[in-house]
């Protein structure tokens, strides 16, 4: 068995013998095809670059709505939050924010699937699967969806609900919605 020094000497000798072979591969390489291709590319004439188009200068449009409120300027006491607060406090329709939110209210309505109906003691219950794959039993009066949707009726084919939406002025209004049975 060769000693450690002998192994090292064999490795160095092998490296010295291989150096001329590696050097020969690098030095005697024929690059004529590469040189020919580069000279062909350099001899081609350049293409014509189109001129930069002329741009019309920007002309601002002055707002001339005389006698009307300027939509780009806030007036005294005119901010969005105060508008919402005053409109909510008018005694009209608004969601009950003090009630405890139900599990299906964190999901968008279009991500919920109505998969069946159960009847128990003469009462209809809808079976809904959320986007996480969890099965829920819902009844009339339960809430679902992200728009304060309250279930108004459950049939064999649909779960109908009333949702609350806020318009651009902050006023709440009701809109009907439904989830159809998936077969």
What integer best gives the mean pLDDT of the chain?
Answer: 82
71 versus 166: the higher-pLDDT residue is 166
Q: Which residue has the higher pLDDT, 116 or 170?
A: 116
State whether the Cα torsion 58-59-65-69 is positive or negative: positive
3-state secondary structure of 85: helix
pLDDT more than 90, % of the chain: 32
Looking at 30-39, 90-99, 129-138, 145-154, which range is the least confident one? 90-99
Q: In what order do the strands lie in the sheet with 172-180?
A: 143-144, 149-154, 158-166, 172-180
- For 9-63, the pLDDT digits (tens) are 888 888 888 887 776 665 656 788 888 998 988 888 877 888 988 988 888 877 6
pLDDT value of position 115: 92
> How much is the average pLDDT of 125-154?
92
**Residue 76's pLDDT is what?**
57
Distance of CA 155 to the CA centre of its chain: 34
Please state the separation of Cα 86 from the chain's center in Å: 34
Give dist(CA 146, CA 75) in Å, integer.
33
* 91 pLDDT higher than 70: no
Sheet holding 135-138, edge to edge: 113-120, 123-129, 135-138
Integer Cα distance of 21 and 136 in angstroms = 76
CB atoms within 10 A of CB 76: 4
Rounded to two decimals, the pTM is 0.50
Tell me the pLDDT tens digit for each residue of 107-134.
999 999 999 999 888 888 999 999 999 9
Check residue 3 and give its pLDDT: 84
Residue 19: predicted pLDDT: 80
Look up residue 144 and give its two tokens.
Answer: 């679902």
Structural domains of the chain, with CATH: 4-43 (no CATH), 87-180 (2.30.30.830)
């Amino acid at each position: 068995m060769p000693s450690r020094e002998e192994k090292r000497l064999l490795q160095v000798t092998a490296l010295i013998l291989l150096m001329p072979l590696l050097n020969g591969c690098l030095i005697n390489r024929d690059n004529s095809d590469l040189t020919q291709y580069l000279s062909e590319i350099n001899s081609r004439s350049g293409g014509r670059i189109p001129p930069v188009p002329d741009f019309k200068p920007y002309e601002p449009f002055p707002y001339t709505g005389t006698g009307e409120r300027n939509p780009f300027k806030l007036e005294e006491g005119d901010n969005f939050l105060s508008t919402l607060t005053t409109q909510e406090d008018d005694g009209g329709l608004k969601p009950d924010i003090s009630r405890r939110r139900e599990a299906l209210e964190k999901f968008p309505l279009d991500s919920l699937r109505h998969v069946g109906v159960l009847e128990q003691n003469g009462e209809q219950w809808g079976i809904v699967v959320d986007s996480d794959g969890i099965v829920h039993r819902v009844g009339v009066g339960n809430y679902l969806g992200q728009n304060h949707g309250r279930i108004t009726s459950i049939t064999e084919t649909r779960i109908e609900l009333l949702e609350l939406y806020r318009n651009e002025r902050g006023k709440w209004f009701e809109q009907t919605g439904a989830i159809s049975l998936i077969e």
